[in-house]
Amino acid sequence: MKTKITEAFGIKHPILLSGMAYVSLPHLVAAVSNAGGLGIFNSVANTPDQLKGIIQEIKSLTDKPFAINVTLIFPNGKENAEVALAEKAPIINFALGKGDWIIKAAHEYGGKVISTVATERHAIRAAEQGADALIVTAHEAAAHGSDIGGMVLLPQIASKVTTPIISAGGYCDGRGLAAAIALGADAIAMGTRFLLTQECDVHPNIKQTALKTNMEDTIYSDGIDGLPGRWYKNKRALEMSTGKTSYIEAMKSGWALRKQVDVPVWKLLFGSLQKRGVTELARQAIGVDALGKVLNDGDLENGVVPFGQVIGRIRDLPTCKEVIERMVSEAEDIIKSMQSKVA
């Protein structure tokens, strides 16, 4: 299936793996790229030094295009973007911050840039800055999506920009892929669906729990890591969603994460002097710390994990290649059958 996105990025199918901390690891990224989609690595839990090695590792696992995601409000975001640029990552995907400098620098070596947005205003700004594509993340999505559902958000943004659009949030089959194209997208990105694949290396507890989780079993709250987001509704997420996590707990997670991503102490302290400073950082840290607990250790008592609403529609554990080929073939059939349905 050819679209503006497959052409722009040199991939076979218009399907992307979303960048997910502790999930979209090199093995999974390469599996999706090797199957003809585009794998995105998420660098939020890595130091710049680690990221350099990770880019080499992905290059050793696939000769196909892949992308590196950087979360710009995170303390390591700018440095990780600089590493991705220095390593000439084929595609860079930035989220939650101003990335015009990334677009400029990537274009200088022939790299491409995807900006992740969740509002019409941010989509228009990224398009004006020259992003090669936009990931538009709707309300159905796991983690930080829009307050608006995809059925409204996607056609609205598609009517305002000419930049190719990758729609994210709620996809798992060919019906979704065909619908996304009808609403104005040129590709889709999936997190929850690729979490439930053979090549995804998260703890088996998570996969077993996810396979039994229903559509209603997620919550959308800004109490967990400080930004509105969708999470699996376990006891811990319900506690955290009240926003009453203790300051000491927040600082403990912030400190642990500071060490993990190698953020200098001065940066943490400087952050505390700014308006959206240390509390926000600490809350974000709690989110990432709690996410690591779940995805690495399978600890669903003390951790939290993002699941999209689509979790309730996924009941199998195929390979990435099976997911991609099945979706494309279903979507092609649906698109072909549309005319006879309405004639």
Ligand X SMILES: Cc1cc2nc3c(=O)[nH]c(=O)nc-3n(C[C@H](O)[C@H](O)[C@H](O)COP(=O)(O)O)c2cc1C
Q: Find how far residue 47's CA is from the centre of its chain.
A: 18
Q: What are the residues whose beta carbons fall under 8 Å from the beta carbon of 243, sequence distance 6 or more?
A: 222, 223
Q: Is 23 in the site for ligand X (CB under 6 A)?
A: yes
Query: Does the footprint of ligand X cover residue 257 (CB under 6 A)?
Result: no
Q: What is the closest distance, in whole angstroms, from the C-beta atom of residue 166 to ligand X in the complex?
A: 10
Residue choice 39, 48, 169, 174 for contact with ligand X (CB under 6 A): 169
Q: Which of 106, 168, 237, 286 binds ligand X (CB under 6 A)?
A: 168
By the rule CB under 6 A, 95 interacts with ligand X: yes
Pick out residues in 57-76 that bind ligand X (CB under 6 A): 71
Using CA atoms, how far apart are residues 264 and 286, in angstroms rounded to an integer? 18
Shortest CB 332 distance to ligand X, Å: 21
Binding to ligand X by CB under 6 A, coded x per residue (else -) over 110-139, reads: ---------------------------x--
Which part of the chain contacts ligand X (CB under 6 A), choosing from 7-15, 142-150, 175-183, 261-269?
142-150
Phi, psi torsion values for 104, nearest 5 degrees: -65, -50
- Out of 18, 80, 146, 245, name the contact with ligand X by CB under 6 A: 18
| Consecutive H or E run containing 244 | none
Name the one residue in this structure whose structure tokens are 């995805």: 295
| Smallest separation, CB 230 to ligand X (Å) | 8
Q: Are 193 and 170 a contacting pair, CB within 8 Å? A: no
Residues 6 or more apart from 61 whose CB is under 8 A from it? 26, 27, 29, 30, 34
Query: Which residue, judged by CB position, is nearest to ligand X in the bound state?
Result: 191
Calpha distance 282→290 (Å, rounded): 12
Burial class (CB in 10 A: 0-12, 13-18, 19+), 201: middle
Beta carbon nearer to ligand X, 211 or 269: 211
Write down the least CB distance from residue 96 to ligand X, Å: 7
- Residue 167 touches ligand X, criterion: CB under 6 A: no
> Does 77 interact with ligand X (rule: CB under 6 A)?
no
Burial category of 276 from C-beta neighbours within 10 Å (exposed 0-12, middle 13-18, buried 19 and up): exposed
Compute the least distance from the CB of residue 24 to ligand X, in Å.
8
Write out the DSSP string of 85-126: HHTT-SEEEEESS--HHHHHHHHHTT-EEEEEESSHHHHHHH
Site string for ligand X, 171-210 (x = CB under 6 A): x------------------xxxx-x---------------
Binding of residue 44 to ligand X (CB under 6 A): yes
How buried is 332 (Cβ within 10 angstroms: 0-12 exposed, 13-18 middle, 19+ buried)?
A: middle
Q: Considering the rule CB under 6 A, would residue 48 count as an interface residue with ligand X? A: no
Contacts with ligand X by CB under 6 A lie at 18-21, 23, 42, 44, 71, 95, 137, 140-144, 168-171, 190-193, 195, 305-308, 310
